[in-house]
Amino acid sequence: MSDMRRALVTGAAGFLGSHLCEPLLAANWEVVGMDNFITGDKRNLEELEKNKNFQFVRHDVTQFIHLAGPLDAVFHFASPASPIDYREIPIQTMKVGSLGTHNCLGLAMAKRARFLLASTSECYGDPLVHPQPEDYYGNVNPVGPRGCYDEAKRFAEALTMSYHRHHGLETRIVRIFNTYGPRMRLDDGRVLPAFIGQAMRGEPLSVFGDGQQTRSFCYADDLIDGIYRLFESDEVFPTNIGNPREMTILEFAEKVQEAVGSTVPLNFHPMPENDPKVRQPDIGKAKRILNWEPKVPLEEGIQRCLGYFQGRVEEQQGKSQED
């Protein structure tokens, strides 16, 4: 009988889901990846599928999940996560946060597996408290254009805690702040791939509002390290994982221009409704209970991404020429 632990990772073809699978496999886990490719990319699975301990199952987690064999962990990462995606598919976004979370929790309970929910800093909405600690309940507009994502994740957290309290299920909840790295889609609407793609194409950078809104960017490797530490800990309540280094969007635009070697101008657009004006994690809890904090400076992280995004830009330009 194998001593290897076995995990299910939903959303495994996505940006963060695929990054999570790699250290699990490196730590001698058997990994079952699950995705329905609504927003995931099959190319994110190419390296994973070369590993004999990785298995892929194409499935929509909003439908009942049947998985043969034992499970030690369920990592629920399935969900659209960019503004463009969840505004185009708001109902699917709410379904994966509600029905999908319910199905994953039910599977974890049936297998007696530990469950980890990938939640989000969007639970804090457009925050009135800064930086955002885990005990801040947020300022969310449930009927605004971002409500489908924000409330899906808030419901998922409540459902996860209900399974923990009522059924005694071992659960963990990570609130993920802005994260970047290879495997992000150029067209997913998030600021880093948007800026890098525009700069590489020689286009003006699209800045919404006056650019004074702030964000905090965490490199994917740092984030996954924090998530794994949280999974292995005893902490049940939500925990922020992100980089507390805060900067304005204008400052971030300068960082991208410097990295790409581009002097493209800025193109200002109206601020989207309910777009957060500030975003910075309070990571005191993660430092205290997980001995975790991010290590990769933004400047280094952007450099690590450039080759990947250059390849995607060239691919995009090649398709445009064919059309």
Residue 275 has pLDDT above 90, yes or no: no
- 105 located within any domain: yes
pLDDT at 1: 41
Give residue 230's Cα distance to chain centre.
15
Whether the per-residue pLDDT at 318 is higher than 90: the answer is no
Q: Any idea which of 88-92, 247-251, 282-286, 319-323 has the lowest mean pLDDT?
A: 319-323
> Each residue of 207-223: pLDDT tens digit?
999 999 999 999 999 99
The domain of 94 spans 5-180+218-241
Predicted TM-score of the model (pTM): 0.96
CA distance 273 to 278: 14
CATH of the domain at 172: 3.40.50.720
137 annotated active-site? no
Q: Residue 258 falls within a domain, yes or no?
A: no
The answer to whether position 210 is within a domain reads no
Predicted confidence (pLDDT) at residue 83 exceeds the cutoff of 90: no
Total structural domains within the chain: 1
Q: What is the mean pLDDT of the chain?
A: 95
Asked if residue 32 belongs to a domain, the reply is yes
pLDDT above 60: residue 235: yes
Position 269 in a domain: no
Residue 206 lies in a domain: no
- CB burial of residue 113 (10 Å; 0-12, 13-18, 19+): buried
Alpha helices, DSSP H, located in the chain? 15-26, 83-88, 90-95, 101-111, 147-167, 191-201, 220-232, 249-260, 284-290, 298-322
* pLDDT score recorded for residue 273: 87
Q: Is residue 263 included in any domain, yes or no? A: no
101's enclosing H/E stretch is: helix 101-111
Residue tagged active-site, from 124, 149, 219, 228: 149
Answer whether residue 295 is part of any domain: no
* Digit-coded pLDDT (tens) for 200-209: 999 999 999 9
Taking residues 59-88, what's their average pLDDT? 96
* Widest distance between CA atoms in the chain: 61
Instruction: Provide the pLDDT for residue 2.
Output: 58
